[in-house]
Amino acid sequence: MARMDAPPKPMAHIFAGRLMPLTAFDAEALGAFPQGTEFTLTANTKRSLPHHRTYWRALDKAVKATGRWQSREALHTALKVKLGRVEPIFDLRGNVIGMKPDSTAFDAMTQQEFRGFFDEAMAALSEAIGYDALAWMEEA
């Protein structure tokens, strides 16, 4: 965590394929570094709530249309398992005794990671139900 009395770190965003200062302050701060300075970047983009809602709506519609799963949560678990997004469960001797689905929570995945999961999940769901799981979006 950054110290409260430390100056803010310069911020930038990708614009037209280039890294650009976010504000005039950021441009000035970055301009103070000599040419050739290398930086370690951390993406600050937050998870998209509309994207998250689209995922759950698609699952809800698939459950209601097919009746194959008890709930959208059950379908969510099935998709994570199908896509191999699981971690082993060990007993006290270190033996694998099962698998537990990974989390897709906002604090467990970046937006970029969720986008990849979403795309894989919708492809797998569409294949399982035999039609485009996002077709309802075109109708709306």
Residues 34 and 54 in one domain: no
Residues 70 and 99 in one domain: yes
pTM above 0.75, yes or no: no
Same domain, 56 and 125: yes
Please indicate, yes or no, whether residues 120 and 57 belong to a single structural domain of this protein. yes
Residue 97: what pLDDT? Answer: 96
- Judge if 93 and 135 occupy the same domain: yes
Mean per-residue pLDDT over the chain, rounded: 90
Q: Which domain CATH number covers 82? A: 1.10.3790.10
Model pLDDT, residue 89: 96
Rounded CA separation 63/129 (Å): 10
Predicted local distance difference test score (pLDDT) of residue 99: 93
Number of domains in the chain: 2
112/45 Cα distance (integer angstroms)? 9
**Per-residue model confidence (pLDDT) at position 39:** 87
Q: Tokens 């100056």: give the residue.
A: 7
Predicted local distance difference test score (pLDDT) of residue 24: 85
Tokens of 76: 């969510």
5: β partners: none
Residue 15: the pLDDT is: 84
Same domain, 68 and 130: yes
Residues of the chain where predicted confidence (pLDDT) is lower than 50: 3
My answer on whether 18 and 54 are in the same domain is no
SS (H, E, C) the chain: CCCCCCCCCCCEEEECCEEEECCHHHHHHHHCCCCCCCCCCCCCCCCCHHHHHHHHHHHHHHHHHHCCCCCHHHHHHHHHHHCCCEEEEECCCCCEEEEEECCCCCCCCCHHHHHHHHHHHHHHHHHHHCCCCCHHHHHC
Domain that holds residue 8: 1-44
